[in-house]
Homo-oligomer: A and B are copies of this chain.
Amino acid sequence: MSENKKYNIEVRVWIEEAEGAFLGIGKIWLLENIKKTGSITNAAKEMKMAYRQAWQLVEEMNQRAESPLVEKLLGGKGGGGAKLTEAGERAIEVFYEVEKRIKEFALKETQNLKF
């Protein structure tokens, strides 16, 4: 009764829709950075991610949501930009809320794991 390794339960949460994965932690981070920086370009830089991929993720989200999460502004002063819609703001909150509850539940299950 001495050398006991520590094990803990990890949980990954995401939200699906008929067509497939809709919203996971990666897209949430992207939403947060778009909110913070005001554009997909700068959000991508912040995350050291290619603009191309960030743009694709935004497309996916917008198409799979009932109403778009990100509003894109084309051209104009500063070339345009992107900002969260009401639905986008709510999505962040809802996701974190759900994720938090599930992770807390998982943590409780961690007691006494042995292998």
CB pair B12–A12 under 8 Å, yes or no, is: yes
A9 and B18 within 8 A (CB): no
Residues of B near A66 (CB, < 8 A) are: 3-5, 114-115
B10 with A102: CB separation less than 8 A? no
Q: Which residues from chain B contact A23 at a C-beta distance below 8 Å?
A: 115
* Most interface-central of A7, A87, A109 (chain B CB within 10 A): A7
Whether B10 and A17, one on each chain, are in contact in the complex, defined by CB atoms closer than 8 angstroms, is: no
User: Do the beta carbons of A106 and B13 come within 8 Å of each other?
Assistant: yes
Q: Which residues of A contact B (CB under 8 A)?
A: 3-18, 21-23, 64-67, 69, 87, 90-91, 94, 98, 101-102, 105-106, 109, 113-115
